[in-house]
Amino acid sequence: MKLTLSLALLVIFTSCTGNTQRKQLTLAVVSGVEGEALKQAAADYEKQTGVHVSVAEFPYTNLFEKELIDLKARTAAYDLIMLDDPWFPRFAHEQVLTDLTPLLQKRGKSGPDSDFVETSLALCRHPYKSGSLYALPYVGNSQLFFYRKDLFEKYLMKPPATWDDVLEAAKTIQEKETTGANGGQVYGYVERAAQGNAAVADFMPIFWAFGGEMFDASGKPAVNSPQGIAALQFMIDLGKYSPPGYASFNADDVGAHLLQGTAAMSINWPAWISSFSDQTKSKVIGKMEFTTLPGAEKPGQAEIGNWLIAIPRDSHNADAAVDFLLWATSAEQMKRSAQRGNPPTRKSLFQDPELVAKYPAYPAQLRSLESSRPRPRTPYWNEIENAFGIFLSKANSGDLTPAEAMNQANAEIEKILQRAQ
């Protein structure tokens, strides 16, 4: 009994000390293409430097809670974490991340190099754009406007520059294109308005283009402004050319309609681009075109959606972690990540001839990224997005009028902010 106990203690003890003796890093990544690239980079790093990098992989829906619970409990379980950019203000607000500037200065750098796209780097600072640096951008997604080039040419239409063009084109295509790829009708557009992230992500570019702002100059919610209500009315008007049931669509429903050739336009993320040339999935090979978002009162702006990498404040290996972070986000390594399917966050790579040959949409992606906007930077974004998404979804399913939806959303957002005071 005593023997086994002491043996067990010995094992625990040695395994603990082993961590500090051998260099080891633990990485929390999202499962899917973004995390996969970082996982492979970790394996390369281990081969090059001998630093063992173990990877903990979580599905997107669980990653946020796993990381925040762990960081708040100060377990120091992770040395590096991947963050979706809307989560960043919450983590920074909770003060659980390492300020990177002193670590960069130790290595003779005054800050991150100027090759990073400004809009991506701005996300890594708290407060936004001007504050301290707590992360580096790894995957540079921003929304793009997807449309069927062949149908636009067939009906002699120019690529849509404004949302009015989009509505007009959706109408034309839906009325004239009565025999689609699988014999059925082609919907002019496909929106997604499932409550939560989906509805909000699809709405924000329209909202911004119509001149809407979620918060006014004094920080009070203002989604029920005339511009906001007009934008929601437009989303519903465009919904008439969307497949029925879009009020519960998520990204995969939008992707499925585009791949099947049953819808002609949508807002979507660059991760879908490669699937359009996949013969096993796509009925629209060579027919899709990708461009920046249409405008209205204001020029079109995409929503940015970057993956960032940060170092938890309680990591015992911050120095080793920052070495890995700088290595993984270097131009050379990020190119490999790009080759594995992730849009980079470096200007030089968006212009890299080899990459542009492989990903012809890169110039459009860079334009979209450089002119993109982040979701409002607030630690309470998850809660606000949830409430806002519910009312957007309700308006799109016909439960509420646009004005009712926006007034109620505004009241709920105000409540959330008041509670946080």
Partner 1 sequence: MQKSRRFFSAPNKRELLLPALFLAPALAVLLALSIYPLIYSITISLQQETAAGVTWGLGNFARLFSDNFFLTALGHTFIYAVAALVCEFLLGLGLALLLNNQIRGRGIFRASLLIPMMLPAVVVGVVWRLMLNPNFGAINGTLKQFGINTESLTWTASPKLAMLSVIAVDVWQWTPFVFLVLLAGLQAIPQEPYEAALIDGSSRWQTFWHVTLPLLKPSILIVLLLRTMDLLRVFDQIFILTEGGPGFATETISLYIYRTAFRFFDFGYAAAMSFVLLALTNVISAVYIKFLQAKETI
3-state secondary structure the chain: CHHHHHHHHHHHHHHHHHHHHCCEEEEEEECCHHHHHHHHHHHHHHHHHCCEEEEEEECHHHHHHHHHHHHHCCCCCCCEEEEEHHHHHHHHHCCCECCHHHHHHHCCCCCCCCCECHHHHHHCEECCCCCEECEEEEEEEECEEEEEHHHHHHCCCCCCCEHHHHHHHHHHHHHHCCCCCCCCCCECCCCCCCCCHHHHHHHHHHHHHCCCCCECCCCCECCCCHHHHHHHHHHHHHHCCCCCCHHHCCHHHHHHHHHCCCECEEEECHHHHHHHHCCCCCCCCCCEEEECCCECCCCCCCEEEEEEEECECCCCCHHHHHHHHHHHCCHHHHHHHHHCCCCCCEHHHHCCHHHHHHCCCHHHHHHHHHCCECCCCCCCHHHHHHHHHHHHHHHHCCCCCHHHHHHHHHHHHHHHHHHHC
Please state the closest distance from residue 255 (CB atom) to partner 1, in A.
Answer: 13
Q: Of the two residues 262 and 317, which places its CB atom closer to partner 1 in the complex?
A: 262
Tell whether residue 134 is a contact of partner 1 (CB under 8 A).
no
Tell whether residue 377 is a contact of partner 1 (CB under 8 A).
no
Please state the closest distance from residue 397 (CB atom) to partner 1, in A.
Answer: 5
Tell whether residue 249 is a contact of partner 1 (CB under 8 A).
yes
Tokens of 231: 């934008």
State which of residues 147, 394, 409, 410 lies at the interface with partner 1 (CB under 8 A). Answer: 394
Contact between 396 and 390 under an 8 Å Cβ cutoff? The reply is no
Q: Tokens 């990544």 — which residue?
A: 29
State which of residues 274, 275, 371, 397 lies at the interface with partner 1 (CB under 8 A). Answer: 397
Contact between 160 and 166 under an 8 Å Cβ cutoff? The reply is yes
Cβ burial 288-322 (10 Å sphere, 16+ → b, else e):
bbbbbbbbbeeebbbbbbbbbbbbbbbbebbebbb
Tell whether residue 246 is a contact of partner 1 (CB under 8 A).
yes
Stretch that binds partner 1, among 5-13, 275-283, 324-332, 385-393 (CB under 8 A): 385-393
Please state the closest distance from residue 191 (CB atom) to partner 1, in A.
Answer: 12
Window 257 to 286, contacts with partner 1 (CB under 8 A) = 257, 262
Window 62 to 81, contacts with partner 1 (CB under 8 A) = 64-65, 68
State which of residues 38, 247, 288, 322 lies at the interface with partner 1 (CB under 8 A). Answer: 247
Tell whether residue 252 is a contact of partner 1 (CB under 8 A).
no
Please state the closest distance from residue 290 (CB atom) to partner 1, in A.
Answer: 24
State which of residues 35, 78, 85, 90 lies at the interface with partner 1 (CB under 8 A). Answer: 90
Window 180 to 219, contacts with partner 1 (CB under 8 A) = 193-196
Q: Of the two residues 214 and 390, which places its CB atom closer to partner 1 in the complex?
A: 390
Tell whether residue 420 is a contact of partner 1 (CB under 8 A).
yes
Please state the closest distance from residue 20 (CB atom) to partner 1, in A.
Answer: 29
Burial class (CB in 10 A: 0-12, 13-18, 19+), 52: middle
Stretch that binds partner 1, among 12-20, 120-128, 224-232, 376-384 (CB under 8 A): 376-384
Q: Of the two residues 137 and 228, which places its CB atom closer to partner 1 in the complex?
A: 228
Stretch that binds partner 1, among 28-36, 211-219, 242-250, 285-293 (CB under 8 A): 242-250
Q: Of the two residues 89 and 300, which places its CB atom closer to partner 1 in the complex?
A: 89
State which of residues 49, 274, 386, 401 lies at the interface with partner 1 (CB under 8 A). Answer: 386
Q: Of the two residues 1 and 357, which places its CB atom closer to partner 1 in the complex?
A: 1
Q: Of the two residues 195 and 329, which places its CB atom closer to partner 1 in the complex?
A: 195
Please state, in angstroms and rounded to a whole number, the distance separating the CA atoms of residues 363 and 367: 6
Tell whether residue 399 is a contact of partner 1 (CB under 8 A).
yes
Tell whether residue 398 is a contact of partner 1 (CB under 8 A).
yes
State which of residues 59, 127, 245, 286 lies at the interface with partner 1 (CB under 8 A). Answer: 245
Q: Of the two residues 133 and 416, which places its CB atom closer to partner 1 in the complex?
A: 416
Tell whether residue 243 is a contact of partner 1 (CB under 8 A).
yes
Where along the sequence are the contacts to partner 1 (CB under 8 A)?
64-65, 68, 90, 193-196, 243-249, 256-257, 262, 380, 382-383, 386-387, 390-400, 412, 419-421
